[in-house]
Structure 1
Amino acid sequence: MPVGLLYQAIFDLSVTMSATQHSSVAVAENATRAVLRQPRLLVRETLAGVVTALALIPEVISFSVIAGVDPKVSLIASVVLCLAMSFLGGRPAMVTAAAGSVALVIGPMVHQHGVQYILPAVVLAGMIQILFGVLGMARLMRFIPTAVMTGFVNALGILIFFAQVPHFWGKSPLIWGLFVLTLLIVLWVPRFIKAIPAPLIAIVLLTVFTVTSGQLLPTVGDEGSMSGGLPGFTQLLVPLNLQTLAIIWPCALSIAFVGLMESLLTARLVDDLTVTPSNKNRESAGLGIANILAGFYGGIAGCAMIGQTIVNVEMGKGRSRVSTVAAGLVLLLLVTGLSEVMAEIPMSVLAGIMVIVAVKTFSWHSIQPATLRKLPITETLVMLMTVAATVSTGNLAIGVVAGVIAMLILPRIVRGKRATTSETALPDREK
């Protein structure tokens, strides 16, 4: 089978590039070889990749708007990220692309200083992630408290939601109508159609409606170029000096930390779903290399995407690197062949999709009364402080650091107050 031979050749090249193999990686490579030898499994993995690629398009375009870059560039960068991590990553079947958490971090720098600083910032972030992987520091991420991780996820959902508000709030009734229709389609269609991602159905139906009806609405094409073909390598347009370093290093450090944390969080989720191990240090180093490659294509950095990974693993039953290779290749085909069509997608439709993403990202279980009653008060406070610090600064990395500091300090304060209360409550035996 020609497709199988192509996958086998690419896979063998990636194995040759890896100097060392851990037990978890060996398990993954054996699983990939098994897929390549069995046509039935190969078809399943390839179809999982097709569905995943379709699910990637609306979110990547929306995140590019948040970051302030052309949608076409983010889509191509996502192709690079997805393919590179298929070979270099430590967690097979995990989908990596231009993600919302990274877009939220890099967006303020782009809006303040310009897109010319993306390349050095992304390359520096990639170098930091490679260093984390080589030194084995990625394993330290598991010590981040659960309350902080919950606060991180909740803050991410809140920031994604508010980033969509300008696309529908205070707009015309038609834009509001498309926004509400998008919400209804994405929420209700999965009850009847499971083979095709509901966001894709919403995009196709509502884009066809706006084009055929001749309505003039803000579209993806208004946010940046969607011309056909592949972009060339991005040239460095800023001087490499201390002034540039002062601009990019806070952003680069945040990209490295936030991207790595979300990737390792997603990897742990896939480990549990598939009952297979992953190599966290390889994931960190591979993500760094993939981000550097994406940066040279002008794209923002990326990390694992929880929603699309769930689509690949749960809906598509993807279990090997073949599924993400297929996703990257299909996404490349769609971007190069249908870019002019994607330019006609209304922004209000994408806003509706991203609002659903924000709602699903938020951990509603964490704020239910039953959950709050079971948890220690310190964990609830840490979660709330992580959310507050993130939303107030707009920086996920700052929020996580604030949450970790709060986790170190608050339990001592609470214990101190309890001790003081106990001493005050003791009866005076001398009376």
Structure 2
Amino acid sequence: MKLDNGIKGAYPLRPFTRLSARRHRSGQTGMLDFFRRRPRNLKDDILSGLTVALALVPEAIAFAFVAGVSPIIGLYSAFFIGLLSAIFGGRPGMISGATGAMAVVVVGLVAIHGVEYLFPTVVLCGIIQIAAGIGRLGQFIRMVPHPVMLGFVNGLAIVIFMAQFGSFKTVNDAGSLINISGPALWIMLALVALTMAIIWLLPKLTRAVPSSLVAILVVSGLSIGVNKMVPTDWAAPNQSNVLLTVGDMLKTNTMAQAATKVEKELGENVTPAAITSAMTTAAAEEGGIKAGLPIPYFLDSQYDFLPPLNFATLWIILPFALTLAGVGLIESLMTLSLIDEITETRGRGNRECVGQGLANVVCGMFGGMGGCAMIGQSLINVNSGGRGRTSGITAAVCLLLFVLVLAPWIEMIPMAALVGVMFMVVIGTFEWASLRTFGKIPKSDILVMVVVAGYTVIMHDLATAVILGVIISALIFAWQHATHLGADIKTNKQGSKVYQLHGPLFFASVASFKELFDPREDPDDVIIDFYYTRVYDQSGLEAINGLAEKYRQLGKKLHLTHLSPECRKLLDKAGDMVEVNLSEDPQYHVATERLG
């Protein structure tokens, strides 16, 4: 690959948009041509929002089970987070909701202290995020290097891909999740393939409606027919339908959770009969996803007590709130950067921090588990033509309507359709061009990409993966620039020896700096010219101070010239810590000295 400046081995600056632009110029379309730039359109936003809402239902339910809370809490969280972040956030077209990254943090709090402590934790998380936005910390997303971004995107695509295999599971009589097999598996795979084919081929015929929405509706219709016509003995264990639906997934997770609870309570005394009884009871009590309007958690009678508002409670919830805030902001800002890249527009990071914080405050007040931006659903939205805030608002409102009115219909949507949609998201998310750059880019960048992608896949922790990638990139940068410090040595007309430095002076290059000088062999007057270098930290100041002390002990003078204003400010702030002579005259005549 080449950039416009002809440098080989560099990354494409905008990998998604360059790919789409190249196909657009050649008149080609293909499976990967999802992210072509489109103008905002109210009809596309509304239809795209409806598509996203259908995909949000099983995600919100699944993440609620991960967090150890009721599915209704996950659905309400997705509604509040999605609505408020769409209205007040800094990235139109980006979808937010209850996410796995937040659920992983929440599960520890709920397990240790109970669900009652969850809601004030989410509120505090939102307050911290608002403070981060007001403090303009959102701009730090610019520090994420491109290799980290590529590793993040590729790792995320693999995580989304692997997560879909959970939709191919059912629960056996022992309460364990097992893979479906036989005719049920083959029929489901066939409908997954049909969903992907519709999403790929329909845009070649028309873009009047989102292909993802059409695929979900078509496959849902076929699924209803299959479940009515195919013999029930083809179904997986503990399932009445041959093709698993959203309702079946909810029932399966409820039964598996009930079996796990019994095993923990009875321990070694657990029996198959006890597990079967618990699963049967859970399945009978499972009421689906229908519920009433959300109410503030402190008015909800289902909670036994409310945590007291004191320092003891704050001490409990603060670590979890800080973690939630950090995870949520990192994932949201990374998603914002990705959507910026795809749509060739620019979101506002600081406003997104405030929007996410406000959404989490309200979500916590209404008994939600919190959330952040959802990359998979955001890509579905962009793929379906959603560009404005209307798409996110529509998705949130439709989700609430599903819970209040259309729950029975939503429970009939086959998991095959949603899996097919997510598989296409995976294909569009993975940056295939990055595979071709291997061998053409620095090995250090390859290392960063692999580490970030690997950590994302293994740990399912996107925020930590990004932080780890930034740290590795920073260490590599420091190591490489530590070797870039050198000096041109000459003698001026006055007989002074002049060291003209090149490269940065900071903690990593201090050793190289010290090796440049020979105080014993140097003449009585030595000048260090900083015209082509900069002093960046206290380690550099201490190195200068130590060198000056060596020359002073030998009765020799050391002068510093061409210091930048920033370097002089560092010396001024150092006060008595650093004592060196600063020469103002670049012609090295009589030196003007001052203490830094």
Q: TM-score range by the shorter chain?
A: 0.7 to 0.9
Q: Answer 1 or 2: higher relative contact order, Cα 8 Å, separation at least 6.
A: 1
Identify the match of residue 56 of structure 1 among 36, 53, 58. 53
Indicate if the aligned counterparts of 2:56 and 2:399 stay in contact, CA closer than 8 A. no
Query: Is residue 401 of structure 2 the alignment partner of residue 372 of structure 1?
Result: no
For residues 13-412 of structure 1, what are the structure 2 equivalents within 5 Å?
Answer: 44-68=41-65, 69-103=69-103, 105-106=105-106, 115-168=115-168, 170-194=179-203, 195=209, 196-197=211-212, 198-210=215-227, 213=230, 215=235, 216-217=240-241, 219-222=248-251, 223=253, 225-235=288-298, 239=307, 249=318, 251-271=320-340, 276-313=345-382, 315-316=384-385, 318-346=386-414, 350-351=418-419, 353-366=421-434, 368=435, 370-412=436-478
Q: Does 95-104 or 180-189 show the bigger shift?
A: 95-104
> For 1:380 and 1:181, how far apart are their aligned partners in 2?
37
1:331-375 per-position Cα deviation (integer Å, ceiling 9, x unaligned): 333332211222344556655554554454443333x1x211222
Indicate if the aligned counterparts of 1:90 and 1:281 stay in contact, CA closer than 8 A. yes
How many residue pairs match? The answer is 375
User: How far did 1:131 drift?
Assistant: 1.4
1:309 and 1:345, CA in 2 relative to 1: closer, same or farther beyond 3 A?
Answer: closer
> For 1:248 and 1:96, how far apart are their aligned partners in 2?
23
User: How far did 1:65 drift?
Assistant: 0.9
Question: Any gaps of 5 or more consecutive residues in structure 1?
Answer: 1-40, 420-431
1:175 and 1:363, CA in 2 relative to 1: closer, same or farther beyond 3 A?
Answer: farther
Question: Any gaps of 5 or more consecutive residues in structure 2?
Answer: 1-38, 169-177, 204-208, 255-287, 486-596
Letter in 2 for 1:331: L
User: How far did 1:180 drift?
Assistant: 1.1
> For 1:111 and 1:177, how far apart are their aligned partners in 2?
38
TM-score where L is the length of structure 1? 0.72
Q: Does 288-297 or 377-386 show the bigger shift?
A: 288-297
TM-score where L is the length of structure 2? 0.54
Who wins on radius of gyration, i.e. which is larger? Answer: 2
Aligned partner of 2:3 in structure 1 is none
1:139-160 per-position Cα deviation (integer Å, ceiling 9, x unaligned): 1121122222222333333333
User: How far did 1:201 drift?
Assistant: 3.9
> For 2:109 and 2:424, how far apart are their aligned partners in 1?
26
Letter in 2 for 1:186: T
Indicate if the aligned counterparts of 1:389 and 1:399 stay in contact, CA closer than 8 A. yes
Letter in 2 for 1:183: V
Q: Does 167-176 or 246-255 show the bigger shift?
A: 246-255
1:304 and 1:167, CA in 2 relative to 1: closer, same or farther beyond 3 A?
Answer: closer
Letter in 2 for 1:233: P
1:277 and 1:406, CA in 2 relative to 1: closer, same or farther beyond 3 A?
Answer: closer
User: How far did 1:238 drift?
Assistant: 6.3
Letter in 2 for 1:227: K
1:103 and 1:147, CA in 2 relative to 1: closer, same or farther beyond 3 A?
Answer: farther
1:165 and 1:115, CA in 2 relative to 1: closer, same or farther beyond 3 A?
Answer: farther
More strand by share: 2
Indicate if the aligned counterparts of 2:195 and 2:216 stay in contact, CA closer than 8 A. yes
> For 2:405 and 2:388, how far apart are their aligned partners in 1?
27
> For 1:175 and 1:295, how far apart are their aligned partners in 2?
40
What percentage of residue pairs aligned between the two structures are identical? 34
User: How far did 1:132 drift?
Assistant: 0.8
1:364 and 1:108, CA in 2 relative to 1: closer, same or farther beyond 3 A?
Answer: farther
Indicate if the aligned counterparts of 2:193 and 2:420 stay in contact, CA closer than 8 A. no
> For 2:117 and 2:413, how far apart are their aligned partners in 1?
28
More helix by share: 1
Aligned CA-pair RMSD: 3.7
